[in-house]
Structure 1
């Protein structure tokens, strides 16, 4: 019974954090779309979005890690390491594909914007996954 009483505030805290983080993801997405709709610098919009998603991912991971017991921390660490390997592979693959196609496309930042957007979407997927597993 004591464990249940002690666990309840943690569960409530994690749920509030998850809801707040989901709101943050939605807010970043909305600001990104607004920035793109202005049509000024899509690459800068994508770069800012990527940077913000990367920061949010770090915050979500840290918050979850800090609120888990040792067994669940270890599971989260392993999961994160596996995801980081997938991220590295995905980022390398997408960079190589774009560089191969660059001579065939118009010059400018469009390719870079698309790559950055795809990388941000990859991070967003991980954030949502972490929130879903631990909410």
Structure 2
């Protein structure tokens, strides 16, 4: 738990110090893959990866918004609200599809890992968009 908090803090510090780049995402992805490669507690690897994507999304959005005029901020907010609706629909679809496939039993660690992995990929896609707009 302490390691997770420290990691999130380090991510925030690195982003605040103007080193928010696509490289940050690639480093997190590499760390995630190394965690998965260990072959144990993979659900928690995926959960942490998703949490990192969500944290980066919030930081990226706030950083971009801070650089914009009030008119641009309003446009960005509408865009983000539309994206959030798409995100929620995607998350529901991933859950339903994973359940339907039957390869993983709902509620198991493998099932959860697949869900978190797909959710993180989707969120990191938005993070990349926001970083590129900045």
TM-score (norm 1): 0.78
**SS in structure 2 of the partner of residue 129 of structure 1:** helix
**C-alpha distance in 2, partners of 1:47/1:128?**
20
Task: Verify: 1:105 aligned to 2:103, yes or no.
Answer: yes
Higher relative contact order (CA 8 A, sep 6+): 1
Residue equivalent to 2:32: 32
Question: Unaligned regions of 5+ residues in structure 1, if any?
Answer: 1-15
Distance in 2 between residues matched to 1:62 and 1:51, nearest whole Å:
17
Partner residue of 1:77?
77
- Please give the root-mean-square deviation of Cα atoms over the aligned residues, in Å: 1.7
What is aligned with 1:13? none
Uncovered stretches (5+) of structure 2, i.e. residues with no partner: 1-16
- Size of the alignment, in residue pairs? 116
Report deviation, 1:106. Answer: 5.0
| Higher radius of gyration, 1 or 2 | 1
* CA offset digits 1:43-87 (Å, max 9, x no partner): 111000000110010000011111211111111111101100100
